[in-house]
């Protein structure tokens, strides 16, 4: 029975990959047969060739592909902004969330700012800081901070009241309360917020590169589109999808490991 | 008693008032030192009234909201349809899983240049990107909503010998309505953010572009007015969706 289920699971997985391959085959047919103009939809093999060339992997290439450097720049911006966002989000969130009085005064403002698109801050940041890498990093960090901040505030607000009573009975200092009760309790919320923050960080990094002309994948795909180099454009989109996929998978894995103590 | 109510009503406004006051002071000092990068909020309020009077405010707001709504409609219809299929059929869900996991993490803004190439500037490119961005969350949430339907409901539909279409419209859709509205609430938030982002990055229409052009023409007062207005519109739309969703949940007998 168990064996049978494993077998079916394996088959299902293979079928699932086959569907993906079928989609790629459809792309191949559609572009090669000219159903869709190749100006918009390059063939898979052209995209693959652009990827290899950009990453300096193809034979007989002088080694002037820039995709690797662009990818590194975008990942660097995303990760730096995300780390800053996580740090400040947790610090500010803990400071606000630990005190019900501060929560009552500040939280309505936070709820008002939450739906504001992070990219809407780009024009303001440009006029304050000018067009430079620090400006993009600031907007990435600021935009990605909100989910972490609000999740931390929520996690602290949702501490079981009896735990707070225990802390009061034990005469725990505020620092000890934050460290031993608040943070562990808010951990699942914080990690979920950090995962959302990573997605936002990638999006804002790409938009920032497009607007502020900072070198990176965002600028690369915009220039490729303006020059009608569709295969280079697709190569960039593939790399961005890969960054999103890998970063999300890594964080999901880390989340599972870090929250293992919570499972019964 | 009334004093306490007044206090509670005023309390949320204190912190923003302090922030605005500090910004006003800072911007005036910067202006006195000869910087024209910032404007005090009072000037922004004046610029806002000007934009509201000459109609540019309403036109740009209408464009952004209309395009976001169209994109959400397209993304939601496709996402709900595929979510229903994947939620009802375990085999379909298994077959689609790898493709979905591979395509879903593509950041929606990466498609801005592609949409520019394919559709040019205007409504169509923005609708396409908003639809792509809202498709995935709706697909995932509807699929999980369908998978959590009480199994006995599906058994009933089988016993009654309902066709697939009847089953979808008479049993499944009504059963997932509360969760569907939770998904739509998220979709609305995503659609607005993506629409404004597309306008800031590329599309020369709407609120995002109006803010961008105000910055580029060194009109910081108008830029701040747009920033504040985008915040107000986003907040109002989201608050409306929260209300709608709570109302639907109450009508469908779900305890919030």
Q: What are phi and psi of B176, to 5 degrees?
A: -100, 5
Q: Under CATH, which number does the domain A67-262 receive?
A: 1.10.3720.10
What is the extent of the structural domain holding B62?
Answer: 58-251
Q: Tokens for A115, please give them.
A: 């739906």
- Name the residue with tokens 């869709």: A36
Please name the residue of chain A whose CA is at the shortest distance from the CA of residue B36.
A127
The pLDDT assigned to A62 comes to 56
Q: How many domains, in total, are found in chain B? A: 1
DSSP A228-249: T-HHHHHHHHHHHHHHHHHHHH
Torsion angle of alpha carbons A9, A28, A229, A226, nearest 10°?
-70
Cβ of A108 within 8 Å of Cβ of B238? The answer is no
The verdict on A15 touching B (C-beta cutoff 8 Å) is yes
Q: Is the dihedral of CA B8, B12, B15, B16 positive or negative?
A: negative
**Minimum-distance CB partner of B196 among A113, A120, A240:** A120
Cβ of A117 within 8 Å of Cβ of B197? The answer is yes
Would B25 be classed as within a structural domain? Answer: no
Cβ of B99 within 8 Å of Cβ of A218? The answer is no
The pLDDT assigned to A7 comes to 52
Q: What are the tens digits of pLDDT across the range A125-176?
A: 988 888 888 999 999 999 999 999 999 998 888 888 888 888 888 888 888 8
Q: What are the tens digits of pLDDT across the range A2-26?
A: 444 545 556 678 888 999 999 999 9
Q: What is the CATH number of the domain that holds B149?
A: 1.10.3720.10
pTM here is 0.88
Distance CA A205, CA A177 (A): 36
Q: What are the tens digits of pLDDT across the range B6-22?
A: 888 888 888 888 888 89
Cβ of A23 within 8 Å of Cβ of B111? The answer is no
Would B22 be classed as within a structural domain? Answer: no
The model's confidence at residue A1, banded by pLDDT at 50, 70 and 90, is: very low
**Residues of chain A found within 8 Å of residue B219, distances taken between Cβ atoms:** none
Which residues touch A121 (CB under 8 Å, ≥6 apart)?
A139, A142, A143, B227
**Averaged pLDDT of chain A:** 86
Interface of A with B in 201-230 (CB under 8 A): 202-203, 206-207, 210-211, 217-218, 221-222, 224-226, 228, 230
Angle at A86 between CA A82 and CA A92, to 5 degrees: 140
- Residue ranges per domain, chain A? 2-36, 67-262
Q: Tokens for B162, please give them.
A: 């309902």
The verdict on A102 touching B (C-beta cutoff 8 Å) is no
Considering B15-19, B61-65, B170-174, the range whose residues carry the highest mean pLDDT is: B61-65
């Amino acid at each position: 029975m168990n064996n049978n289920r494993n077998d079916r699971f394996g088959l299902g997985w293979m079928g699932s990959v086959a569907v993906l391959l079928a989609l790629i085959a459809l792309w191949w047919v559609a572009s090669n047969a000219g159903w869709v103009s190749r100006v918009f939809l390059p063939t898979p093999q052209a995209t693959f060739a652009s990827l290899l060339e950009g990453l300096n992997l193809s034979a007989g290439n002088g080694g002037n592909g820039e995709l690797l450097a662009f990818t590194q720049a975008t990942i660097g911006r995303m990760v730096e902004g995300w780390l800053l966002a996580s740090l400040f989000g947790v610090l500010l969130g803990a400071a606000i969330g630990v005190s019900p009085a501060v929560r009552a005064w500040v939280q309505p403002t936070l709820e008002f700012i939450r739906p504001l698109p992070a990219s809407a801050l780009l024009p303001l940041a440009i006029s304050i800081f000018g067009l430079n890498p620090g400006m993009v990093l600031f907007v990435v960090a600021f935009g990605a901070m909100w989910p972490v901040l609000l999740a931390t505030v929520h996690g602290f607000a949702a501490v079981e009241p009896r735990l707070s009573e225990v802390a009061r009975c034990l005469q725990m200092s505020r620092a000890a309360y934050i460290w031993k009760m608040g943070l562990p309790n808010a951990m699942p919320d914080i990690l979920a917020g950090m995962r959302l923050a990573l997605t936002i960080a990638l999006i804002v990094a790409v938009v920032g590169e497009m607007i502020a002309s900072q070198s990176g994948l965002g600028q690369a795909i915009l220039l490729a589109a303006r020059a009608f180099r569709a295969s280079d454009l697709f190569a960039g989109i593939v790399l961005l999808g890969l960054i999103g996929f890998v970063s999300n998978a890594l964080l999901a894995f880390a989340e599972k490991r870090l929250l293992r103590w919570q499972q019964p | 008693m009334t004093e306490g109510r007044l206090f509670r009503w005023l309390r949320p406004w204190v912190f923003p008032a302090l922030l605005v006051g500090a910004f006003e002071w800072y911007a005036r000092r910067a202006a006195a030192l000869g910087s024209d990068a910032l404007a005090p909020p009072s000037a922004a309020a004046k610029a806002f009234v000007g934009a509201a009077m000459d109609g540019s405010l309403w036109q740009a707001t209408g464009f952004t909201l209309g395009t976001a709504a169209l994109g959400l409609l397209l993304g939601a219809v496709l996402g709900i349809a595929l979510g229903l299929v994947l939620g009802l059929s375990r085999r379909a869900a298994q077959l689609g899983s790898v493709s979905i996991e591979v395509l879903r993490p593509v950041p929606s803004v990466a498609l801005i240049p592609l949409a520019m190439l394919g559709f040019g500037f205007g409504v169509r490119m923005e609708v396409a990107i908003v639809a792509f961005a809202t498709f995935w969350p709706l697909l995932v949430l509807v699929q999980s909503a369908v998978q959590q339907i009480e199994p006995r409901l599906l058994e009933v539909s089988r016993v009654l010998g309902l066709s697939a279409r009847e089953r979808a419209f008479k049993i499944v859709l009504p059963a997932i309505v509360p969760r569907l509205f939770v998904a739509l609430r998220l979709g609305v938030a995503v659609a607005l953010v993506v629409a404004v982002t597309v306008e800031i990055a590329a599309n020369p229409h709407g609120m995002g572009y109006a803010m961008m052009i105000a910055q580029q023409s060194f009109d910081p007062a108008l830029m701040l007015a747009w920033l504040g207005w985008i915040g107000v519109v986003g907040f109002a739309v989201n608050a409306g969706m929260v209300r709608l969703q709570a109302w639907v949940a109450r009508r469908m007998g779900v305890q919030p």
